[in-house]
Structure 1
Amino acid sequence: MTEHKVEIAMRPDGPAGAEILGFRPLYQQVKANFVRRLVDGSWAPGMALPSESQLASEIGVSQGTVRKALDELAAENLLVRRQGRGTFVAEHDEQRILFRFFKLMSDDGIARFPDSKVLDGTCGPADAAERTALNLQAQEAVIRIRRIRSLGGKPLVLETVSLPAHVFPGLENGPVPNNLYSLFATRYGITIANARERLKAVALTPDQAEHLRVAAGTPALEIDRIALSLDGSAVERRLSLCLTEEAHYQSDLR
């Protein structure tokens, strides 16, 4: 049982302020402790973390246990290890989002972050699909943002972003940046940890086709994404209609 042995993180004579971490494998308990710090904003995007030895002393575990927890969070893109500089809370910068969340790539194989043009932003009662996706009750409001995303000046994606209004109050009234996930983190303290996507082939309606400057009935790839925050809450539904004549969906499997 050496690999999965669970230590007791705090004893009566343990370091002051150490936390009782329970009886799961210890590195997972430490990881959960660190995730809570990300969730409550104690560790903010871009922040440099204390050293492994400092964290180990604070929690009352070995430095190796702290390192394993930090390594897992780095593998999940929540932390960034920088050689010679330390460990930092990941930011939703364009480069990170490009390779993790935006999977549409032009057929020339060059990864580019798309331009964005907002069509409209509204707030109103969630429809049935939004209530299901975001775990909302009847009559709860959502903010809806519709925008066109382009590569090389050519419209490629018609996107509808639905957000719980109580999580992102007032977002529909201000400027909507291209990089929404950075805005979520900096203004609202919401970090997107991962997402679930469903893909489906569809034909564009006349209204959808007009926005994308193609004929009605043109085939498109529909991507229905639910983005989850660090605590596992569904905080965004993003429905994207993508033209694939000169682009493709790329997913790197590991």
Structure 2
Amino acid sequence: MDQANLMTEPLYKAVIGTVIDRIVSGELVPGAMLPSEYDLGAELGVSQGTARKALEELERRGIIKRRQGVGSFVAVRTPENALFQFFRLRNPDGTQAIPGLAEETVTSRKATASEAGQLSDAPERVHEIVRVRTIDGARLIYEKSVVPAVLFPGLAERAPLPNALYALYQQAFRIAIVRADESIRAVAADQETASALGIVETRPVMRVERKAFDIADRCVELRLSFYVTDHHAYGISLA
């Protein structure tokens, strides 16, 4: 983001854009330390207060982490925080359910018209990750994730993939997921889902459709999941 852009939008938003551009380009890698509020402001020709407001907003979005008395750092997506932030099933006592992996296939194929219309930059090809996940050994989750092949080169050759995909996305491909939009509804299990989970067809399951966005606000993953929730709840915290 150049100085001209700094003059045509709210200053703190321009600072945010500059930091995000540097992260996306790889100039600032996960774990890298950012300039101080004073140095960032001086570099971009804005006040220290404006730089502080930008860094506070970046922290709120989960893009950076700030350590009191130390500085600001590009957030690192670890397997633990990626799993706990985006995996929502809760045990009956309200504690976090921990998923295991029973089956996985990873394939590369042509994107459907719907996928190309929803994913960033309308990719021609995608990688599809199909998984059956377990809780305490029970097959409770059937999910399909689709990502643009151009942003995730060689993903299919990395199978089997780790439990926490979003940590892999950042560590291997510099794609940091910072938010996800979901729609949830109850449906009857179709033949494919029933077969994957070992349940009877038409059994009620929870259908969760997700669009995941990276720090540049690009839609980089579509995920469709089916949950058996007889003994678990889908927990969401509202602020």
TM above 0.5: yes
2:174, 2:204 → 1: CA distance? 38
* CA deviation string 1:17-43 (max 9, x = no partner): x93411322212211211211221221
Q: Normalising by structure 1, report the TM-score.
A: 0.85
- 1:153 to 2:149 alignment: no
Moved more, 64-73 or 178-187: 178-187
- 1:121 to 2:106 alignment: yes
Equivalent in 197, 200, 215 of residue 212 of structure 1: 197
What is the CA distance between 1:99 and its match in structure 2?
4.1
2:16, 2:113 → 1: CA distance? 36
1:224, 1:153 → 2: CA distance? 24
For the aligned residue pairs, the C-alpha RMSD in angstroms reads 2.0
Aligned length: 236
- 1:181 to 2:162 alignment: no
The letter of the residue matching 2:202 is G
* Other-structure match for 1:84: 69
Equivalent in 211, 214, 221 of residue 206 of structure 2: 221
Q: Normalising by structure 2, report the TM-score.
A: 0.90
After TM superposition, the runs of 4+ consecutive aligned structure 1 residues lying more than 3 A away are 135-138
What is the CA distance between 1:159 and its match in structure 2?
0.8
What is the CA distance between 1:119 and its match in structure 2?
2.3
* Other-structure match for 2:116: 131
Q: Unaligned stretches of 5+ in structure 1?
A: 1-17
Structure with larger RCO (C-alpha < 8 A, sep 6+): 2
CA contact under 8 A between 2:89 and 2:97: conserved in structure 1? no
1:204, 1:128 → 2: CA distance? 25
Q: Unaligned stretches of 5+ in structure 2?
A: none
CA contact under 8 A between 1:106 and 1:248: conserved in structure 2? yes
- 1:96 to 2:81 alignment: yes
Helix, strand or coil: the match of 1:110?
coil
Q: Which of 1 and 2 has greater Rg? A: 1
CA contact under 8 A between 1:98 and 1:112: conserved in structure 2? no
* CA deviation string 1:104-163 (max 9, x = no partner): 22222111442224421111122343233325659x221111112222222221111111
